[in-house]
Amino acid sequence: MSAPLTLAARIEALLFLAPDPVSTEELADALQTSEEAVTNALVTLEGALDGRGLVLKRIGGGVVLASHPDAEESARRLLSRPRTPALTPAQAETLAIVAYLQPVSRPEVARIRGVASESATTALADRGLIEEAGRSQFGAVLYRTTPLFLKLFGLDSPEALPDVAQWDPSPEEAQALRDRLLRAGEARTSG
CA angle 150/154/158 to nearest 5° reads: 40
Which of 1.10.10.10, 3.30.565.10, 3.40.50.720, 1.20.1440.230 would CATH assign to domain 7-71?
A: 1.10.10.10
Which pLDDT score is estimated for 191? 61
pLDDT in tens, 15-55: 999 989 999 999 999 999 999 999 999 999 999 999 999 99
Please determine whether the domains at 7-71 and 89-174 fall in the same fold group of CATH: yes
Checking if the pLDDT of 84 tops 80, the result is no
pLDDT in tens, 87-139: 999 999 999 999 999 999 999 999 988 888 899 999 999 999 999 999 999 99
Measuring CA to CA, which residue among 15, 80, 88 is closest to residue 45?
15
From CA 43, how far away is CA 120, in angstroms rounded? 49
Which DSSP category does 22 fall into? Answer: B
27 three-state secondary structure:
helix
CA distances from 73 to 38, 49, 65, 78, 186 (A): 32, 20, 17, 9, 62
Find residue 143's DSSP bridge partners: 104, 132
Which pLDDT score is estimated for 5? 93
pLDDT level of residue 3 (50, 70, 90 thresholds): confident
86 CA to centre of own chain: 11
CA distances from 144 to 37, 129, 147, 158 (A): 51, 9, 10, 10
**Which residue has better confidence, 120 or 78?**
120
142 three-state secondary structure:
strand
The amino acid at 28: A
Which pLDDT score is estimated for 60? 83
* CATH topology (fold) of 89-174: Arc Repressor Mutant, subunit A (1.10.10)
Note the pTM of the prediction, 2 decimals. 0.52
Which pLDDT score is estimated for 57? 92
Which pLDDT score is estimated for 119? 93
Residue spans of the domains in the chain: they are: 7-71, 89-174
pLDDT in tens, 54-71: 999 998 889 999 999 999
From CA 161, how far away is CA 59, in angstroms rounded? 39
pLDDT in tens, 132-190: 999 999 999 999 999 999 988 888 888 888 887 777 777 887 788 777 877 877 777 77
